[in-house]
Structure 1
Amino acid sequence: MAVPKRKMSRSNTRSRRAQWKTAAVHLVACSNKACRQPKPQHVACPTCGQYDGRQVVQPA
């Protein structure tokens, strides 16, 4: 396993960590024609409980 020869400076560490960013969740309209609420991609709709035209969970 590779081991660093010297301690990484605080500024180098912080510069590297500054590149870690999060992206906003991409929302799409629900495929259910009666619902059409925004929901995350590839996730069952939290409003109507459907995914890909099938009822997969009970709506909240």
Structure 2
Amino acid sequence: MLEKIIIVYITGALVSFVYFATMEKSILNEEYTNEHDGIEAFLYIICSVFWFVFWVYGIMNLFKKYK
């Protein structure tokens, strides 16, 4: 069970981190249009929160496991 949680944690963190990085590039890009601004900003916030929560959760679990 713990292995499945760790796999989900790692994949979720990686996916949201990759999205986080690509959003950062598209926001900094001068050709960035305002068409999808609301949706992309919303997804950006969700992914950054998701990424942060997953890393904190994973680190806390590692500390609890190896204490």
**TM-score, length basis structure 2:** 0.29
Q: Which protein has greater RCO, CA pairs closer than 8 Å, 6+ apart?
A: 2
Structure with greater helix share of residues: 2
Structure with greater strand share of residues: 1
